[in-house]
């Protein structure tokens, strides 16, 4: 099946620094990618939807200046957490939708810990 | 707007026993329904989905789910649970195939030997 890869899988950073998480569709072109945030023992909350070559659409309550999303190609979307703080510590999961079938595939997730 | 309720936060079953995980949705029309499984520290894997047609849907790993419009439910079942099925299970709903998913809060399945 289609594969979506996230990198890094785990990252620890100091408060105030910025962290970039990559989401790649390895064997298909993803016209749309989604970024989710998951708190411990909770569900996935959609943060934003990104379409290749256009600005991301953020969900209500998500700070777009803090969570920068770039979808520069049909196989890569990046999430940059700017000026990270401990409350940004979370599990971030991306998903990619194939243009051909519309099917959705999820990455393995990236665990961010901000000290 | 659509919403999903998974009433059971945590379920424990013995290996070999049957399993049913509940999912209720709220949506004005017939939604697209999904069940995903998440192992600790991992992403989500699609177990099965319902778009239309036969209301009993077969998925991977021996799972099935039944769409019941009258009850607004899409419960997940497995006749005989294996220890490797221990994971978090999420029900999700979308108004269309190209639409955003709304997830339930998840049910954590524990399997005792």
Which chain B residue shows the shortest CA-CA distance from A3?
B45
HSE at residue B82, side-chain half, CA atoms within 13 A, is 5
User: H or E stretch including B76?
Assistant: strand B73-78
- Candidate from A32, A43, A46 with C-beta closest to B106: A43
B43 interfacial to chain A (CB closer than 8 Å): yes
What number of other Cβ atoms are within 10 A of residue A41's Cβ? Answer: 11
Q: Give the pLDDT of residue B43.
A: 82
Cα Rg of chain A (Å, integer): 13
B37 pLDDT above the threshold of 80: yes
Task: For residue B39, give how far its alpha carbon lies from the nearest alpha carbon of chain A (Å).
Answer: 10
Average pLDDT over residues B94-109: 86
Q: Give the pLDDT of residue A40.
A: 79
| Selected residue of A43, A46, A59, A99 to mutate for chain B interface (largest B Cβ count, 10 A) | A43
A42 interfacial to chain B (CB closer than 8 Å): yes
B74 pLDDT above the threshold of 90: yes
| Interchain pair B43, A109: CB under 8 A | yes
Q: Cα(B79)–Cα(B66) distance, rounded to whole angstroms?
A: 14
B96 pLDDT above the threshold of 80: no
For A71, phi and psi rounded to 5 degrees? -125, 75
Residue B1's pLDDT band (boundaries 50, 70, 90)? confident
B36 interfacial to chain A (CB closer than 8 Å): yes
| Interchain pair A108, B43: CB under 8 A | yes
Q: Cα(A53)–Cα(A17) distance, rounded to whole angstroms?
A: 27
Q: Give the pLDDT of residue A2.
A: 67
Q: Give the pLDDT of residue B70.
A: 92
Q: Give the pLDDT of residue B28.
A: 74
pLDDT tens-digit profile, chain A (115 residues): 668 999 999 999 999 999 999 999 998 888 899 999 998 778 889 999 998 888 899 999 999 999 999 988 889 999 999 999 999 999 999 999 887 677 788 999 999 999 9
Going by their DSSP bridges, the two strands A10-13 and A110-114 should be labelled as parallel
Task: For residue A17, give how far its alpha carbon lies from the nearest alpha carbon of chain B (Å).
Answer: 24
Q: For B39-73, give the DSSP string.
A: -TT--EEEEEEE-SS-SEEE-GGG-EEEEEGGGTE
For A103, phi and psi rounded to 5 degrees? -75, 150
């Amino acid at each position: 099946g289609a594969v979506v890869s996230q990198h890094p899988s785990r990252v620890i950073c100091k408060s105030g620094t910025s962290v970039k998480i990559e989401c790649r569709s390895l064997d298909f072109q993803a016209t749309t990618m989604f970024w989710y945030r998951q708190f411990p023992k909770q569900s996935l909350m959609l943060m934003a939807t990104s379409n290749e070559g256009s600005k991301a659409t953020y969900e209500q309550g998500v700070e777009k200046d803090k969570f920068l999303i770039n979808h520069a190609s049909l196989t890569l979307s990046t999430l940059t957490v700017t000026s990270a703080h401990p409350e940004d510590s979370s599990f971030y999961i991306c998903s990619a939708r194939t243009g051909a079938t519309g099917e959705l595939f999820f990455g393995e997730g990236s665990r961010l810990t901000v000290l | 707007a659509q919403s999903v309720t998974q009433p059971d936060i945590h379920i424990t079953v013995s290996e070999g026993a049957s399993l049913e995980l509940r999912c209720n949705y709220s949506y004005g029309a017939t939604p697209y329904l999904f069940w995903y499984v998440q192992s600790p520290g991992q992403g989500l894997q699609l177990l099965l989905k319902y778009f239309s047609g036969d209301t009993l849907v077969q998925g991977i790993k021996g799972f099935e789910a039944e769409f019941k419009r009258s009850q607004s439910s899409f419960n997940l079942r497995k006749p005989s649970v294996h220890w490797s099925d221990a994971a978090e299970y999420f029900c999700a709903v979308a108004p269309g195939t190209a639409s955003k998913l709304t997830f339930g809060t998840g049910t954590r399945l524990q399997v005792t030997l």
